[in-house]
Chain A
Amino acid sequence: MADYEPTIIAFVCNWCTYTAADLAGTSRLVQPANVRMVRMMCTGMVDPKYIIKALLEGADAVLVSGCHPGDCHYINGNLKARRRMKLLKEILPKFGFDERRLKMTWIGASEGIDFAETIRKMTAEVKVLGQNDLRTRMVL
């Protein structure tokens, strides 16, 4: 189990974290290939159901990453996203989901190094948590 490769679904903001991820790539920073990125116009449009769906389909963790507070392209979408993450961190653990499978970070457009580091760390953390077996199990 310790040796499995986790799948992380990342909902990233077009203006900040996506650009940072792009920068990490073009800078040839080495990072694990465990992340499936979904580019959103803003983390403020990440409906809780996207995250729930990802976990029910067997994602080992979900990352939501947007602009630093104050930098949101749409003024405050990231702060709304933070409340929704708080909500999910309250609800999902009641059904046995480890809260650490839900992560939110602020990564600005110029922070490619930060992005690569976040992914490295998160992949290692999720490996320790073990696999989300819902991927291959029947979910009602």
Chain B
Amino acid sequence: MSKIGKIAVRDRDPVSSLQDFLKLLLEKGTVEAVLVQQRLPINNSVMPALVTDVEKLGWADPLAPAFPLNAARMLSRLTRKPLDAPIAAVMRPCEIRAFIELVKLKQGSAENVILISADCLGAYGNTDYAKVSGLGAGTQSTLAFHRNVISGKGTATEDADISAACKSCEHPVADNADVTIGLLGTNLEESLILIANTQKGRKLLDDLGVKEEDESLDLRRKAVEGLLSERVAYRDRMFERTSAAVSDMEKLMNYLGACVNCYNCRVACPVCYCRECVFTTDVFDHEPAQYLRWAKRKGALKMPTDTVFYHLTRLAHMSAACIGCGQCSNACPNEVPVMELFRTVAHGVQGVFGYSAGASLEEEPPLSVFHEKEFSEVTGGID
């Protein structure tokens, strides 16, 4: 099923060559629109945009190390009703995985969508990205970032580095996208690899007239393995640190101490699936007298209340679906290390249910299925 092709890079500029590839999609009428990270004419910032005009793809910057929000949510908006014509979505691997979770939760459909994903070398948090992108206009900072990473100089600049979520991400490659754009193990200034992982992806490459290459993927495999071992090591250290930092209620309260119940982490979370969150309903508009009763019982009542309750509930609700994109931490105004906590717990939860969030459409979300005989230890060995 898999097919390997190539994008030749012209003028040593992989970004404009990728733009050309995307333009071809619109020109040939293969898709009606492309959802892709786009450089905004203002402020040199980057946001997902739904592009139908070929010329406008000249602003596309799918490789920019910016991750303002998880675009899975945007794609879910586009696909909650059947699409008349196919669209292509160019997203990061974690956005693809979040979208797969949303499709399984019936909050989107992959039917008329072609998922395209480039290898992800990481992205900066929103405030850090503003520092990085300011250095050069247009896609200059994107090109510089990729040159540095591929040549081994790393992701850190003087005053910024990619987010902890990216440093600990063990999914830099989206094998579950229809088409993967391979950067790892290639010379970015010469060519990029195209890999069709699905029938849909293969058809797309055929339609575009991409020639099948007899390319060995050994270099790529090696580069991916190297990156993975680095990231897994970082991740495991992070798990260990975080587990120790929250190992009892006192410590957990310390950990969440700066939280002001703004719920930004929930808004930013692509897999927090409730249309209306209970924490913003009148269930939590407690009676004034109730606050006083609590205060009397405990001697002092922190206001706003229910901070730990909120985070624990969110953990119970979505840790099985957490794909580790780190947007929760990106959205936190007070630098609470939410991502670290959620990833640590999610790793355990997904392990218990033998589930890998976002890996495939076939795997059922753990809390939507059950078996007659399982987990008998929960009920004292009786089932």
Contact = CB atoms under 8 A, between A and B. Distances in A.
Interface string A83-113: 1111111111011110000001110000000
A36 interface: no
Contact of A82 (B315, B352, B378): B378
A82 B379 contact: yes
Interface stretch (B80-88, B198-206, B366-374): B366-374
B375 A83 contact: yes
Interface stretch (B24-32, B135-143, B222-230, B247-255): B247-255
B298 A138 contact: yes
Interface size class of B (residues with CB under 8 A): 35 or more
Contacts of B288: none
Interface size class of A (residues with CB under 8 A): 35 or more
A53 interface: yes
Interface stretch (B8-16, B98-106, B183-191, B301-309): B301-309
A86 B298 contact: no
Nearest to A52: B312
A77 B378 CA distance: 15
Q: Which of B298, B300, B366 has the most CB of A within 10 A?
A: B298
B152 interface: no
Interface stretch (B39-47, B112-120, B262-270, B316-324): B316-324
B248 A91 contact: no
A138 B299 contact: yes
Nearest to A102: B378
A118 to B, nearest CB: 10
A123 B281 CA distance: 35
Interface residue SS majority, chain B: helix
B372 A139 contact: no
Interface in A3-46: none
B309 A82 contact: no
A128 to B, nearest CB: 17
A79 B297 CA distance: 37
A95 B370 contact: no
A105 B379 CA distance: 5
A105 B377 CA distance: 11
A139 B308 contact: yes
Contacts of A134: 249
B314 to A, nearest CB: 9
Interface in B19-64: none
A79 B301 CA distance: 37
A104 B308 CA distance: 24
A87 B367 contact: yes
B278 interface: yes
A91 B243 CA distance: 11
B134 interface: no
A139 B254 CA distance: 11
A135 B378 CA distance: 26
A140 interface: yes
B257 interface: yes
A87 B349 contact: yes
Given A48-B317, A69-B372, A140 B382 contact: no
A76 interface: yes
A26 to B, nearest CB: 25
Interface in A44-94: 48-49, 52-53, 56, 69-70, 76, 79-80, 82-92, 94
Contact of B307 (A52, A53, A84, A140): A140
Nearest to B368: A80
Contacts of B333: none
Nearest to B383: A69
Contacts of A82: 370, 374-375, 378-379
Given A80-B370, A83-B366, A106-B379, A91 B345 contact: yes
A108 B357 CA distance: 36
A104 B379 contact: yes
A95 B246 contact: yes
Contacts of A92: 312
Given A91-B315, A94-B345, A76 B257 contact: no
22 contacts: A52-B312, A53-B309, A56-B308, A70-B372, A80-B367, A82-B375, A83-B353, A83-B370, A85-B375, A85-B378, A86-B353, A86-B375, A87-B320, A87-B367, A95-B252, A95-B312, A96-B252, A136-B297, A139-B249, A139-B309, A140-B256, A140-B307
Given A49-B309, A140-B253, 8 more contacts: A49-B317, A56-B309, A79-B371, A80-B370, A91-B312, A94-B247, A136-B297, A138-B299
